[in-house]
Structure 1
Amino acid sequence: MIFSTPKSLVRLAAVAPAIVLLGSMLAPSASFAQTPEFVRVRGSIVGLDGSALTVKSRQGTDVTVKLAEDLRVSTVVKASISDIKPGVFIGTAAAPKDGASHAIEVLIFPEALRGAGEGDRPWDLTPNSTMTNGTIGSAVEGVDGPTVTVAYKGGERKVTIGPDTPVVTLGPADKSDIKPGTVVFLTARKREDGSLSANSVTVGKNGVVPPM
């Protein structure tokens, strides 16, 4: 699909380290997901001064993050619900509604990253949201969109994907894509002095923004 041509595969290989780090952001490790020393930052870039990235968070506050010298940058590429088929490995944030899980977003992982962050755990995108990384086992069409079974080691979750749900996959980017106004998602390490640092960021590009 998105990375089907040899040229695209070369580009994917170039960005693979950044994508692997993104996969680790979505990992089910209890220590990663629950300890306060890691902070997910979502918002729009205000500016980059040397290695200091300032982001206007969704809460309206300015957050400054020190970026690593060997910063890895990735982006998201628009995909579609038709790309979500049995056997595909995805990550989906979902929220409860009417007794079922409804997708807030879906990230389709390239085949080379099958298994990244596999599992099911709480997420902080919306209240009571979850993040599930796993393989699509089945899909059943419904009034609100297809309901897919996302299977992971030790369990599964059924998630309904509405027609307006953002569906993306991963693509390459570089530091030149870090500019004011760009939507960004990153996970920063919170140090003892309260400062934040990150060695990987995911940026919006060509009108597609990180929905995670």
Structure 2
Amino acid sequence: MALRFKLAVSLVTLAFAGAAVAQSPAGKPERIRGEIVSVSGDMLKVHRHSGDTVTIEVKNSVSVNAVKPIQLADIKPGSYVGTAAMTGADGKLTAREVLVFPDAARGMGEGHYAWDFGTNSTMTNANVDSVVQGTSGRDLKLSYKGGNNVVTVPANVPVVTLIPATRADLTAGKAVFVVATPEANDRYDGHVIVVEKDGVVPPM
């Protein structure tokens, strides 16, 4: 029960950081992607993919999770997923990654909104209505409050689910995805961390 609760709390924060953080004004949570440079007490230094290095405070209350790969075939009608996708010139969505949520997190961050994987990138957190084999991969028909869409998932796209991790997994060289709020002196207040484990890098 404690594990389910921890994952659920983590995903609530991830959901909170979803629609509102495509472009983050000061004081709003940001998504930080990069590699851990060092860990000292509660302070985590991360070299971001954008090129700079930031310091993130990791309080004891901060949730730490990892991801493990699963098969595209594991996505079934009734699964609840979050998928970052790119919108093509034809308006069709092609997935960059798919996260299959644990049942405890069903409904978290539900909707379709802008994401920060680049121009025309989106995130859809939704229920899977059907899975159909298409010419370029499997087509997921998704429905969420207020709408629906179809996302094509190519065979080479990472498909993962969340698993628990600990602060001991936060070591130099590991890839991380962090949701954090900017504070004074170029520091961040961390809320959620998804860390590389067993060589599996967070794809979100």
What is the Cα deviation at residue 124 of structure 1?
0.4
1:171 aligns with 2:158: no
What is the Cα deviation at residue 146 of structure 1?
1.0
**Counterpart for residue 93 of structure 1:** 84
Aligned residues: 201
Contact 1:42 1:184 in 2 (8 A): yes
Paired AA for residue 161 in structure 2? T
Greater displacement, 192-201 / 57-66: 192-201
Paired AA for residue 95 in structure 1? M
**Counterpart for residue 54 of structure 1:** 45
1:70 aligns with 2:64: no
**Counterpart for residue 137 of structure 2:** 145
Distance 1:101 1:33, change over 3 A: same
**Counterpart for residue 14 of structure 1:** 3
Greater displacement, 70-79 / 187-196: 187-196
* Identical residues among aligned pairs (%): 39
> How big is each residue's C-alpha offset from its partner over 1:27-59, in whole Å with a ceiling of 9 and x where there is no partner?
477545554222110011111111111111112
Greater displacement, 100-109 / 119-128: 119-128
What are the ranges of 5 or more consecutive residues in structure 1 without an aligned counterpart?
1-9
Question: How many angstroms apart in 1 are the aligned matches of 2:61 and 2:8?
Answer: 14
What are the ranges of 5 or more consecutive residues in structure 2 without an aligned counterpart?
none
> How big is the alpha-carbon RMSD for the aligned residues of Structure 1 and Structure 2?
1.9
**Counterpart for residue 3 of structure 1:** none
**Counterpart for residue 146 of structure 2:** 154
Distance 1:23 1:127, change over 3 A: farther
**Counterpart for residue 80 of structure 1:** 71
Secondary structure of 1:112's partner? Answer: helix
Question: How many angstroms apart in 1 are the aligned matches of 2:199 and 2:8?
Answer: 20
1:113 aligns with 2:102: no
TM-score by length of 2: 0.90
Contact 2:77 2:128 in 1 (8 A): yes
Moved >6 Å (runs of 4+): none
